[in-house]
Amino acid sequence: MNDIYNKEDIQIVMNLLHINKAKRDNDNYYYIHINYIKYLLGQTIRCITIPEEKFYLSYEAKKLWDKIRINTNDNIFKYYYNNTVKYNNEIPIEVKTYKGASSKPIERILKKGDCFHFREVFHDDHIIPMKLIVKRLFDLEKPDYDKVMSILKNISICRMLKIEDRRIKERSKRPFNESEIVEKLYSRYGIYLIDYKYSLIDLDFIYKFDESIHLRIPKLIVKRFIPHPEENGYKSVELFNEMIIDVYKDEEGTLFSITNDDELIKYVVIQQELIG
């Protein structure tokens, strides 16, 4: 990774940390309250440019972008937040858009010439939340450039679909470990990254099943049970990646599903690997 950084810019971070550590008489005016120091530090860090190799893209975001983009040079990382994306392809496609902090998507059919704001469909997730980065910086007893940079180098961003982001429940309660978040937390919700160096799971396989198999469903990946609409069905369940499937129980009480769905099989097998 590129270790070159602008010392003058990082000095702004250092100054805020030194102000926080300084003993001050709070009866005086024109001082910065500790809560605002944290706010300023968080906003400053968000403005720091990070190396390209610390930006990741989810498979689902890439799949949708490949359908939306006009040509191969239309890089998804050139777009941000309120940038307008114009759909110019002939074949209509369905996208799920979100307004503000809404948890429910609006299904929309894009036709040639239709536009949407980038952030309505895509989301940039700080893999290690800014709140944890700020806390690590504030916990430094004697901040210096090396210590500050060792923490800032943990900043990385995953560009994913908004609908993927909405699956994740752990907003700030995450380990201070990028690979653990990507391999365990993200994958639990069926979110996988392009070109990420996975060490715990194998994403290279692709299942193609013509016939159905009995697939064991670990209870740890079941988000909730749903009454089955048919009398002869056992139950339906919603998994943490938001798939809804039919399940049954064998003689030992193990849940299983009869399926040939490639995406379902891949998701469940990966979770079986992680759970052990």
Other beta carbons within 10 angstroms of residue 206's beta carbon come to 7
Q: For 185-204, how does the pLDDT look when each residue is reduced to its tens digit (9 = 90+)?
A: 999 999 999 989 998 877 76
Q: Are 48 and 133 within 8 A, CB to CB?
A: no
Q: For 90-139, how does the pLDDT look when each residue is reduced to its tens digit (9 = 90+)?
A: 889 999 999 988 889 999 999 999 999 999 999 999 999 999 999 999 99
Number of domains forming the structure of the chain? 1
Q: Which tokens in the block code for residue 116?
A: 């949407």
Q: Are 181 and 174 within 8 A, CB to CB?
A: yes
135, with CB counted inside 10 A (0-12, 13-18, 19+), is: middle
Smallest CA-to-CA distance from 133 within 165, 174, 162 is with: 174
Residue 77 in 3-state DSSP?
A: helix
- Show the beta-strand stretches assigned E in 127-234: 157-161, 213-216, 222-226
Q: Look at residue 234 and tell me if it is in a domain.
A: yes
Q: Which tokens in the block code for residue 230?
A: 């048919």
Smallest CA-to-CA distance from 46 within 145, 133, 107, 122 is with: 133
Q: Look at residue 21 and tell me if it is in a domain.
A: no
Q: Domain range holding 242?
A: 213-275
Smallest CA-to-CA distance from 243 within 228, 260, 221 is with: 221
Residue 268 in 3-state DSSP?
A: helix
Does the pTM surpass 0.85? The reply is no
What is the spatial distance between Cα 38 and Cα 16, in angstroms, rounded to a whole number?
Answer: 8
Q: For 7-25, how does the pLDDT look when each residue is reduced to its tens digit (9 = 90+)?
A: 999 999 999 999 888 766 6
What is the spatial distance between Cα 79 and Cα 115, in angstroms, rounded to a whole number?
Answer: 13
Q: Look at residue 180 and tell me if it is in a domain.
A: no
Q: Look at residue 242 and tell me if it is in a domain.
A: yes
Q: Look at residue 248 and tell me if it is in a domain.
A: yes
Phi-psi group of 190: left, alpha or beta (phi > 0 → left; psi -120 to 50 → alpha; rest → beta): left
Q: Look at residue 38 and tell me if it is in a domain.
A: no
Q: Look at residue 12 and tell me if it is in a domain.
A: no
Q: Which tokens in the block code for residue 112?
A: 């040639």
Average pLDDT over residues 79-86: 92
Smallest CA-to-CA distance from 60 within 213, 148, 164 is with: 164
Element (H, E) at 116: strand 115-117
What percent of the chain lies above the pLDDT cut of 70?
Answer: 91
